[in-house]
Chains A and B, each alone.
Chain A
Amino acid sequence: MAASGTHDANENYLNHEKGLWSWLTTLDHKRIGVLYAITVAIFFFVGGLAALAIRTELFSAGETIPNLGPNGYNRLMTYHGAIMVFLVIIPGIPAFLGNFVLPLHLGAKDVAFPRLNLLSWYCLLAGAAIALTSLLMGGADTGWTFYTPYSINSAPAVVMMAFGVFVAGFSSILTGLNFIVTTHKLRAPGMTMNRIPLFVWALYSTAIIQVLATPVLAITVLLLAMENIFGIGFFDESLGGDPVLFQHFFWFYSHPAVYIMILPAFGVISELITAFSRKTIFGYTAIAYSSLAIAAVSFFVWGHHMFTSGQSEVASVLFSILTMLVGIPTAIKVFNWVATMYKSSINLASPMLFAIGFIFLFTIGGVTGIFLATIATNIHFHDTYFVVAHFHYVMVGGTLMAIMGGIYYWFPKMFGKMYHEATARLSFLGIFIGFNVTFYPQFLLGANGMPRRYFDYLPVYEPLNQISTIGSYLIGIGFVFAAISILIGFIKGEKAGANPWGARTLEWTIPSPPPHHNFDKTPIITAGPYEFR
């Protein structure tokens, strides 16, 4: 990958080198971002089909899909969860949008360790391949949480799945490591930490979590595999072990992982809100540091997943109180976004629609989180559809909306063409309305006591389940429109200039698509990232 001395005006990272091999061996962060985009899109498609199958099965009481059966359903649910969590949402924003945008935002030529960056993509592929091999072994049916004691002796597929998660975890660690060093070391001259875009702050905070929490997941799934193979007994009561300890290990990673999923989304939304309000972001410092605060607090709250597990009451009370703290930095962000929009001239292009949708849905998700952090209500809602609705409001209504907004926002930069606006708006309508139709009834179902993760339910829950299933099809239609709007963009999208949105961050100062080395001249930074007017 030698730098070319002379510059062709049409030279960019897409046509700099040609052929599949040049893509598979690329060290260019932008190309790696695109590789991640393709990978994540494929996994999203698979996980999405599983979701639709789940909803179809739940359309009516009793068996709806012929011959699926409870065991088939348990596997569907497990793979839907595991794929969406480990292969879609976790790599979704950092590894895909982050890889593409972070060096551009910093005025850098690449991430600090390009080879590690490529390696992390291969780790994700390898992890996914291993995890999906478990399907050939009969499939895991533990849910994505692998709770012991069931996972100790359920099926050999669990070991395979655990090993896949272990390998995919390295992908996440390497991305985080890369982003931390890049943010510290590769900022353009004049770009102090108080001048980096908020997306970078969010990715940086996420990277801290990825680096600190993921190793614990690694040791957890390693122990789980050893538990299956050697019966080491750490988590096995019959050998003197403690199954609840597994939950501590698992959630020490997996709760912070929830913030690996949502923090980058906050970053995307901060960019979208300021760009489409055409106004300097309100409370830059507050938003920046609240990201760090969320990253820190995320390590102190994991026990709120375990109120009914046999965890001690003292620990539960502690975790409950600490969990409430998360509400503070999160609310700071929401208030600042709304304050940014106040009295601004809003451009309601598709990315902004998704951003506004995000604020609406995420707020519902966040507020219901407070219900679940409260021990008394948690015990009523625990393992019901209320929880399912809550985390889908955060993960789908939050992260996925942000990914969609981010894709539309940066698509012109990535490929130099505009997506198709009308179908993009339709996709927003489909996803937004469909989402609420799907998941709002689940709050009601959960409050009425319908347990999650079951193949069947009492007939009394049927009407709301039917509404929910219809909503899920609407979401599906929404994503079909999204795919169409992107496809049209590729085929005959009008040429996007360097800065179609009039945004202020550095990536918009260079041509679309960006040249191979990003910046022909290293930018000198003299002001904050959002100086409008």
Chain B
Amino acid sequence: MAHGQHANDAHSEHHIIPFGVYMKVFSALIALTVITVLAARVDFGAFGAAVAFGIATVKAVLVLAYFMHLKYDNMLNRVIIASGVFFLIVFYFFCIVDEITRIVEKNTL
């Protein structure tokens, strides 16, 4: 949390990512989109959603790291976005715990 004097973190911010890297990342994203569509046709049973979600997360990480420059950014900005994701998971976790363990008459739908 404490990262000392702000004069220190001023430099090395303006990193220019090479053109080629952008192109590679873009190709990877398109490839992953194709994989998402193909994966949806395979029956993974209960894991279908997890597979789709996993591929989406890989894509998200690529966008965050390269298009949004997080790979070259300072630690704090990564922590900020990670904390958002973390507390979202907390939110999800307790809601789903309640839902799974609730004793209700199961709807037939």
Asked if the two chains touch in their complex, CB atoms less than 8 Å apart, one says yes
Residues in A lying within 8 Å of B, measured CB to CB = 184-187, 189-190, 192-194, 208, 212, 216, 240, 244-245, 248, 252, 292, 299-300, 302-303, 310-315, 318-319
Distance in angstroms between the alpha carbons of A192 and B3 in the assembled complex:
8
| Chain B interface residue count, Cβ-Cβ cutoff 8 angstroms | 24
Q: How far is the CB of A298 from chain B (nearest CB, A)?
A: 10
Q: Give, as a whole number of angstroms, the nearest-CB distance from A56 to chain B.
A: 40
Q: Are B94 and A303 in contact (CB under 8 A)?
A: yes
Q: Are A318 and B5 in contact (CB under 8 A)?
A: no
From A194, A244, A292, A312, give the contact of B97 (CB < 8 A): A312
Instruction: Give CA–CA (A193, B1) in the complex, Å.
Output: 8
Asked if A194 contacts B2 (CB within 8 A), the reply is yes
Q: Is the CB of B83 within 8 A of A315?
A: no
Q: Cα distance A193–B94 when bound, in Å?
A: 33
B99 to chain A, nearest CB (A): 8
Contact B84 A212 (CB under 8 A): yes
Complex Cα spacing A312 to B104, Å: 9
A192-B2, A212-B84, A311-B102 known; A299+B90 contact, CB < 8 A: yes
- Is B101 on the interface with A (CB-CB < 8 A)? yes
Distance of A208 Cα from B5 Cα, bound (Å): 21
User: In the bound complex, what is the Cα–Cα distance between A318 and B4 (angstroms)?
Assistant: 38
Q: How far is the CB of A194 from chain B (nearest CB, A)?
A: 6
Q: Closest chain A residue to B5 by CB distance?
A: A189
Q: How far is the CA of A336 from the CA of B25 in the complex (A)?
A: 53
Q: Which residue of B lies closest to A215 (CB)?
A: B84
Q: State the B residues within 8 Å of A (CB).
A: 1-7, 76, 83-84, 87, 90-91, 94-95, 97-103, 107, 109
Chain B residues contacting A315 (CB-CB under 8 Å) are 94, 97-98, 101-102
Nearest to B107 among chain A residues (CB) is A240
Q: For the complex, what is the distance from the CA of A216 to the CA of B4, rounded to whole Å? A: 32
- Apart from A194-B2, A312-B99, list 8 A-B contacts with CB within 8 A: A184-B3, A193-B3, A299-B87, A299-B91, A312-B97, A314-B98, A318-B94, A319-B94
Chain A residues whose CB sits within 8 angstroms of the CB of B94 once the complex forms: 248, 300, 302-303, 315, 318-319
State whether A248 touches B4 (Cβ < 8 A): no
Please indicate the chain A residues that have their CB under 8 angstroms from the CB of B6 in the complex.
184-187
Interface of A is mostly: helix
Do A313 and B101 touch (CB < 8 A)? Answer: yes
Assuming the contacts A186-B6, A193-B2, A194-B2, asked whether A314 and B97 have C-beta atoms less than 8 A apart, the reply is: yes
Cα distance A311–B83 in the bound complex, in angstroms: 26
The chain A residue sitting closest to B109, CB to CB, is: A240
Residue of B nearest to A245 (CB): B95
CB distance from B32 to the nearest CB of A (A): 28
Residues A311 and B91 in contact in the complex (CB < 8 Å), given A189-B7, A194-B2, A212-B83: no
- Count A-B pairs with CB separation below 8 Å: 62
Tell me whether B98 and A312 are in contact (CB under 8 A). yes
Chain B residue numbers with a CB within 8 Å of A314 are 97-98, 101
The interface residues of chain B lying within 8 Å CB-to-CB of A248 are 94-95, 98
- Which of chain B's residues has its CB closest to A204's CB? B1
Expressed in whole angstroms, the minimum distance between the Cβ of B7 and any Cβ of chain A is: 7
CB neighbours (8 Å) of A303 from chain B are: 94, 98
Return chain A residues, CB-CB under 8 Å to B99: 312
B residues in contact with A302, CB < 8 Å: 94
User: Nearest chain-B residue to A313 (Cβ)?
Assistant: B101
Residues of chain A contacted by B97 (CB below 8 angstroms) = 312, 314-315, 318
Counting from the closest, the 5 A-B pairs by CB-CB distance are A193-B2, A314-B101, A315-B98, A312-B101, A312-B102
**Cα separation A190 to B98 with both chains bound (whole Å):** 48
Within the complex, the shortest CB–CB distance from A175 to chain B, in Å, comes to 17
User: B7 — which chain A residues lie within 8 A by C-beta?
Assistant: 189
Complex-state Cα separation, A318 to B95, whole angstroms: 12
B100 proximity list for chain A (CB < 8 A): 312
Q: Are B90 and A300 in contact (CB under 8 A)?
A: yes
Using CB atoms, name the residue of chain B closest to A315: B98
A295 to chain B, nearest CB (A): 11
Measured between C-beta atoms, what is the minimum distance from A314 to chain B in Å?
4
A312 to B83, CA, bound (A): 27
Across-interface contacts of B103 in A (CB, < 8 A)? 312-313
Give A318 to B97 CA distance when docked, in angstroms: 10
Q: How far is the CA of A303 from the CA of B15 in the complex (A)?
A: 45
Task: Pick the most buried of B7, B94, B107, B109: most chain A CB atoms within 10 A of its CB.
Answer: B94
Q: How many angstroms between the C-alpha atoms of A416 and B98 in the bound complex?
A: 55
- Contact, CB under 8 Å: B91 / A252: yes
Q: How far is the CA of A302 from the CA of B87 in the complex (A)?
A: 13
CB-CB < 8 A to B4: which residues of A? 192
CA distance A312 to B3 in the complex (A): 43
Chain A residues in 8 Å Cβ range of B2: 192-194
Q: How far is the CB of B82 from chain A (nearest CB, A)?
A: 12
- Nearest CB of chain B from residue A284's CB, rounded to whole Å: 13
Query: Chain A residues with Cβ under 8 A from B107's Cβ?
Result: 240
CB distance from B54 to the nearest CB of A (A): 25
Contact residue among A189, A192, A212 (Cβ-Cβ distance under 8 Å from B87): A212
A164 to nearest B CB, angstroms?
24
Specify which chain A residues have a CB less than 8 angstroms from the CB of B91 in the assembled complex.
216, 252, 299
Cα A193 to Cα B5 in complex, Å, equals 9
CA distance A229 to B94 in the complex (A): 29
Closest to A292 in B: B1
- Report Cα–Cα, A192/B83, bound state, in Å: 22
> B residues within 8 A CB of A244?
98
Q: What are 25 A-B pairs with beta-carbon distances under 8 A?
A: A184-B6, A184-B76, A185-B6, A186-B6, A192-B2, A192-B4, A192-B5, A193-B1, A193-B3, A194-B2, A212-B83, A212-B84, A244-B98, A245-B95, A248-B95, A252-B91, A303-B94, A310-B102, A311-B98, A312-B98, A312-B99, A312-B100, A312-B102, A313-B103, A314-B97
